[in-house]
Amino acid sequence: NLAVRKDYNSMREAEERFSSTQAAVKQAEEDFFIAQEKYRAGEGIMLDIIDAQEALSTARHNYISAQYDYARYKAALESDMGMSVEYARQ
């Protein structure tokens, strides 16, 4: 019972990270675009682009990590509940 609760709470936490990390990705994409346009206009420096690119990569990594954690905890929850864990084939 404790394992089920723990896995469920972890799954819900990962699910909540979806929206926050998705918003972070959108913001990082916008910041990256702005940095590129500033550089093209001669008002920015390459370091700004590199920093924005790094922030975008980190945001994307965090979003993918949230997806992975959700799937992992969902599978663990189903396993702890005695349900058959089915993997989607793409």
Query: 30-70, pLDDT tens digit by residue?
Result: 999 999 999 999 999 999 999 999 999 999 999 999 999 99
Q: Does some domain include residue 27?
A: yes
Mean pLDDT, the chain, as a whole number?
A: 89
DSSP character at residue 43: S
Domain that holds residue 22: 2-79
Q: Does some domain include residue 90?
A: no
Q: How far is 40 from 76, CA to CA, in rounded Å?
A: 49
Count of structural domains within the chain: 1
Backbone angles phi, psi at 81, to 5 degrees: -85, -5
Q: How far is 68 from 81, CA to CA, in rounded Å?
A: 20
Q: Does some domain include residue 88?
A: no
Q: Does some domain include residue 74?
A: yes
CA of 16: how far to CAs of 21, 31, 36, 67, in Å?
Answer: 9, 23, 31, 10
Task: Name the token pair of 19.
Answer: 């929206």
Q: Does some domain include residue 87?
A: no
pLDDT for 88 beyond 70: no
